[in-house]
Amino acid sequence: MQDVKLVRNVALFGHGKSGKTSLAEALLFTAGKTTRLGKVDDGSSVMDYEPEEINRHSTISSSFNHLNWLKHSVYLIDTPGDDNFLNETMYASRVADCALFVVEANLGIKSQTEKIAQFVADRGLPTLIHINKMDRERADHTTILTEMQNNLPFKPAMIHLPIGAEADFKGIIDIIRQKAFTFEGNSGQVKECEIPVDMADEVTLARETLMELVAETDDALIENFLEEGKLTDEELLTGLRAATRSGAINPVTVGAAATNLGTALLLNMINELLPSPSERPAQIGTNPKTSELIECPPSPEAPFSGLVFKTMADPYAGRLTILKVVSGTMKGDSFYNASREVNEKFSQILLLEGKSQKPTDSAGPGMIVALAKLKETVTGDTLCAADAPVLFDPLIPVEPNISYAVTTTEKKDEEKLIASITKMLEEDPTLQLNREKSTRQILISGVGQIHVEVIGDRIKRKFGVEMKLESPKVPYKETIRGKARVQGKHKKQTGGHGQFADSWIEIEPMPSGGGFVFEDKIVGGVIPKQYIPAVEKGVIEAMDKGVLAGYPMVDVKVSLVDGSFHAVDSSEMAFKISGSMAFRKGALEAKPVLLEPIMNMTIKVPQDCVGDVIGDLNGKRGKVMGMDSEGKLEVISAQAPMAEVLKYAPDLTSITGARGSFKVEFSHYEDVPSNIAGKIVEQAQAGDN
């Protein structure tokens, strides 16, 4: 069993294209875990192995692997940096013990960098920062350091300095030990050398800065620093280790992942500075029976507990359930699922190695492992020992903000498509599947267009069915604003018995949200009681397809006030037709109007984008309801018609340069302006013809 003090559970974070996957590949290669340096661009990466990732040259799902370096076991989680897949990144931040945050030396801080950095900071993860791509054109670590200080919720402190940059990037200086190293080809390894003479002053200044930053985090160190004017190498390293693990400092390293320059030094820093699971605070859960708080210490001897944070669906192997061991040791062949209150059996514990798995006998705190073909367990569940039940806080997925109507190219494949999407829901909690009754469409909702398109690609590959995406229809409704008294007379003579029913109804509006009310005001038996429910049924059926554009009618009161019948020719069917005729006639006379759904919107944007966002909302018939501040962001509360914001996500991305985010939820229905309503009615009538 691996000594938990020698375990490191590290998630790689950063914006899309910052080189996280390339860095993971380089770390694996340097440690001898892989025999070749995997490349994202040529599809040889062991971490990005899904066809959708290979085609897009981008991480879509968190992937997992592990390596051994100087007696330490390092478990890596490579996370997506694209906004469409941030749910994977958020879940990884929940189960990682520490973070390796990657930024580009040549392109700097982006909006996604700030967003993901905030996830990491909010989780309180001890974080190393790696300035990647030092071998690229315009690589400049000093500019990037300033940008990080100004824009990220980190406290960056340089511990490595690059020797050269761009094509001349040839080595690294360790500021802590005041040693220089040059690269040995693309092996990731380094060879000690003399510090370049022209960098002596820069190294001295960088070391003094680092000593000051470290000393300020500890009272004893600051005293020594003020008395002696410096810290010893041991004091500096010990203080830096403590400051990193407390989050007071974020050490900054440099390298070039794609060409594997400097990864051995980075692995050393992961071992030396980042904490083991046993050095992290105990996770707190609750007793599912008593609701008492339970501390789950990251010790192999504690009762077993684990959190499921990912599920992968496979048409052949079934579900693969991925979890982090929080406390204790997982072994044997069963566990208790406290979320579902069931015992589950498993056949093997699997260590993840990219797309491959390797069996292991047991798993201790901090380890990321997988179980195959579990029947009950899903993402977010807490697993534990049956005699020590515990529940961890559930994982909260990112809210979807774009929806599409889904169809298939072949009508016969509809059921297969729905079954396939349902399996994807197990794998991706951000997805939602709904059936819109009024438009009779099946809707899939996701974080963004790319997110939904990737789901379609996976469904086609895994289950052999094509998912077509269309813009969803707006679920308009109809109502009335006036009153009417009308007759619905149904008379039809055929051979034998005829059909006869005569209904008089009064129709009037109900308050918004008042629903449908049917009142029987028949006196004297002019319509026999057995036929009255048939009239109501006919009215309800007519309401289901309104009189203007075929949308359901709401908030209407109908009173059955008079009528007549025929002893032989009247029937329930005749009175149902009569009620339907009367309602349609009355609704047309009672000033019918079209209603549209109005959405509540919460939009978070940088201050410099507020004016443009509000201007865009005004152009979408939106109303700003209020403004607030949240950190560096302005929060706009607004309402807008659903028809205008069905595709708001790309609009907001364009306006804010991908620095904005929004949530939208249904609020209420309002009358559609007459000029717009006329066009909707025309389109509906044209569609019927």
List, in sequence order, every beta strand (DSSP E) within 418-539: 432-436, 441-446, 468-470, 477-480, 484-492, 499-509, 516-520
The first and second tokens of residue 23, run together, are 């860095």
The CA angle 530-534-536, to the nearest 5 degrees, is 120
Strands 402-407 and 468-470: what pairing? antiparallel
Torsion angle of the four alpha carbons 563, 564, 569, 575, in this order, in degrees rounded to the nearest 10: 10
pLDDT at 671: 95
pLDDT in tens, 51-68: 788 788 888 889 999 999
Phi and psi, residue 135, nearest 5°: -95, 5
Q: Which amino acid is at 132?
A: N
Burial zone of 501 (CB within 10 Å; 0-12 exposed, 13-18 middle, 19+ buried) = buried
Burial 240-267 (b: 16+ CB within 10 A, else e): bbbbbbebbbbbbbbbbbbbbbbbbbbb
CA distance 407 to 44: 34
Torsion angle of the four alpha carbons 508, 513, 518, 519, in this order, in degrees rounded to the nearest 10: -70
pLDDT at 317: 60
Edge-to-edge strand list for the sheet holding 499-509? 484-492, 499-509, 556-564, 516-520
Q: How confident is the model at residue 658 (pLDDT cuts 50, 70, 90)?
A: confident
CA distance 540 to 517: 10
Of 608, 27, 617, 629, which is closest to residue 269 (Cα–Cα)?
27
The first and second tokens of residue 102, run together, are 């990657």
The first and second tokens of residue 540, run together, are 């309800």
pLDDT in tens, 81-91: 988 888 999 99
Q: 240 with 251: CB under 8 angstroms?
A: yes
Phi and psi, residue 210, nearest 5°: -65, -45
pLDDT in tens, 569-609: 889 999 999 999 999 999 999 999 999 999 999 999 999 99
What's the alpha-carbon Rg for the chain, to the nearest Å? 32
For residue 688, pLDDT over 70 is answered with: no
Domains of the chain, start order: 4-279 (3.40.50.300), 283-384 (2.40.30.10), 406-470 (3.30.70.870), 478-590 (3.30.230.10), 595-685 (3.30.70.240)
pLDDT at 169: 96
CA distance 360 to 351: 7
Q: Where are the alpha helices (DSSP H) in 247-375?
A: 263-273
pLDDT at 689: 44
Q: 131 with 158: CB under 8 angstroms?
A: no
The first and second tokens of residue 482, run together, are 């006036």
pLDDT at 316: 59
pLDDT in tens, 144-179: 999 999 999 999 999 999 999 999 999 999 999 999
pLDDT in tens, 284-328: 999 998 999 999 999 999 999 999 999 986 655 668 899 999 999
Q: 507 with 483: CB under 8 angstroms?
A: yes
CA distance 125 to 273: 13
Q: 451 with 83: CB under 8 angstroms?
A: no
For residue 1, pLDDT over 70 is answered with: no
Bridge partners (DSSP) of residue 107 are: none
List Cα–Cα distances, 490 to 447, 508, 520, 574, 577, in angstroms: 52, 22, 19, 7, 7
DSSP string, 13-25: E-STTSSHHHHHH
**Average pLDDT value for residue range 651-677:** 91
DSSP state of 106: T
List Cα–Cα distances, 38 to 10, 13, 34, in angstroms: 19, 19, 8
Of 197, 67, 217, which is closest to residue 157 (Cα–Cα)?
217
Q: 99 with 93: CB under 8 angstroms?
A: yes
List % helix, strand, coil for the chain (3-state, nearest 5).
Answer: 30, 30, 35
For residue 250, pLDDT over 60 is answered with: yes
The first and second tokens of residue 229, run together, are 């004017």
Q: 18 with 104: CB under 8 angstroms?
A: yes
**Average pLDDT value for residue range 372-385:** 92
CA distance 219 to 208: 18
pLDDT in tens, 431-471: 999 998 878 899 999 988 889 999 999 999 888 899 999 98
Q: How confident is the model at residue 108 (pLDDT cuts 50, 70, 90)?
A: confident
pLDDT at 496: 66
Residues sharing a CB contact under 8 Å with residue 471, sequence separation 6 or more, in sequence order: 404, 405, 646, 647
**Average pLDDT value for residue range 492-513:** 87
Burial zone of 375 (CB within 10 Å; 0-12 exposed, 13-18 middle, 19+ buried) = exposed
- Quickly tell me which residue has 């939106």 as its tokens: 622
Q: How confident is the model at residue 22 (pLDDT cuts 50, 70, 90)?
A: very high
pLDDT at 647: 86
Q: Which amino acid is at 645?
A: V
Q: 11 with 100: CB under 8 angstroms?
A: yes
Helix (H) or strand (E) holding 325: strand 318-327
Choose the most confident range, by mean pLDDT, from 37-41, 492-496, 547-551, 682-686: 547-551
Of 342, 406, 351, which is closest to residue 378 (Cα–Cα)?
342
Q: Is the dihedral of CA 131, 132, 135, 138 positive or negative?
A: negative
**What region, left, alpha or beta, does residue 491 occupy, with left being phi > 0 and alpha being psi -120 to 50 degrees?**
beta
pLDDT in tens, 486-501: 999 999 876 667 899 9
For residue 199, pLDDT over 50 is answered with: yes
Mean pLDDT, all residues of the chain? 92
